[in-house]
């Protein structure tokens, strides 16, 4: 039997075996000897990928009709050597309506920890909460910003039994987009009012309140990190809090200076 025939036979065997395993126990194992990875080469029981000088995404596997729903996760082990910058593994969950949501290993510690420098074998996890939905396709990739070698061991796809996050990845995506639009619009209105010297008390009050809210969100983000909340939880808090604190914190200072200058010019005009 030639090499191509062997690969076809192996793929057919996996296609038959994995759905049966998923329906029986809710889990399926991705064995790199049975499933040919899209990128890299098989080294022992792992996939070895070596990055180049340029940033690049290396697709590992696409799972069609994964047979999971609700809270699920891809778990396994990873080790790496000489990784430049911050690399990460990502899981894309694709749904029938074409929507796509990702989970990335960009946490400071734990199974969702980012990939940087060198490390021996450690656990990895890519959880996702589909909020009752059922993905039609899962894509697993490795993203390397530069040189370095990463080994990804066998993976397990199944129900996520880790503690619940404060909200789901899908909710975080929707809330993040809404927060970005709201902050952008409010910032534009505040900037317009300051430039024209209008609504002094309202503008200063809104800016101060938003800056305080940003600081509070940053504090909650720190709590989320300490409690090992998923990336979708703490990153949304960190990003929203950082934007609010930086944009409106500086706007308070600018507003006070601008309005004071307008008032001074008005008093001089009255005196003259």
What's the mean pLDDT in 179-187?
Answer: 90
At 156, the pLDDT band (50, 70, 90 cuts) reads very high
Q: Is the pLDDT of residue 13 over 60?
A: no
Rounded Cα–Cα distance for residues 82 and 51 (Å): 10
Predicted TM-score (pTM) of the model is 0.56
Structural Rg of the chain based on CA atoms: 25
How many CB atoms are located within 10 Å of the residue 30 CB? 22
Backbone angles phi, psi at 197, to 5 degrees: 65, 30
Q: Strands of 37-114 (E only): list them.
A: 41-43, 46-51, 56-64, 71-94, 100-104
CA distance 24 to 26: 6
Nearest to 82 by CA among 18, 147, 19, 12: 147
Whether residue 8 has pLDDT greater than 60? no
What are the extents of the domains in the chain? Answer: 3-159, 169-271
Measured distance CA(19)–CA(26) in Å, rounded = 9
Q: Strand 155-159 to strand 71-94: parallel, antiparallel, or no bridges (unpaired)? A: antiparallel
Q: Which two three-digit tokens encode residue 193?
A: 């009012």
In CATH, the number for domain 3-159 is 2.60.120
CA distance 260 to 204: 12
pLDDT at 11: 40
């Amino acid at each position: 039997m030639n090499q191509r025939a062997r690969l076809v036979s192996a793929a057919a065997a996996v296609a038959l075996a994995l759905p049966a395993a998923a329906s029986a126990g809710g889990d399926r194992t991705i064995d790199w000897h049975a499933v040919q990875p899209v990128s890299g080469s098989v080294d022992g029981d792992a996939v070895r990928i070596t990055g180049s000088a340029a940033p690049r995404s290396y697709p590992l596997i696409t799972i069609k009709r994964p047979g999971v729903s609700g809270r699920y996760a891809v778990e396994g082990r990873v080790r790496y050597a000489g990784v430049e910058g911050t690399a990460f593994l990502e899981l894309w969950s694709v749904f029938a309506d074409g929507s796509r949501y990702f989970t990335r290993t960009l946490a400071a510690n734990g199974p969702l920890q980012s990939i940087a420098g060198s490390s021996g074998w450690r656990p990895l996890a890519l959880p996702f909460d589909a909020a009752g939905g059922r993905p039609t396709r899962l894509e697993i990739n490795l993203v390397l910003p530069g040189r370095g070698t990463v080994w990804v061991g066998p993976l397990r796809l199944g129900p996520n039994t880790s503690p619940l996050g404060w909200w789901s990845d899908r909710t975080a995506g929707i809330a993040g987009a809404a927060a970005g639009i709201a902050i952008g619009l409010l910032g534009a209105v505040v900037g317009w009012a300051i430039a024209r010297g209008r609504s002094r008390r309202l503008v200063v009050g809104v800016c101060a309140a938003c800056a305080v809210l940003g600081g509070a969100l940053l504090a909650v983000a720190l709590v989320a990190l300490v409690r090992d909340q998923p990336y979708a939880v703490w990153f949304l808090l960190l990003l929203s809090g950082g934007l609010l604190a930086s944009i409106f914190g500086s706007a308070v200072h600018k507003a006070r200076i601008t309005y004071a200058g307008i008032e001074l010019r008005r008093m001089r005009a009255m005196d003259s």
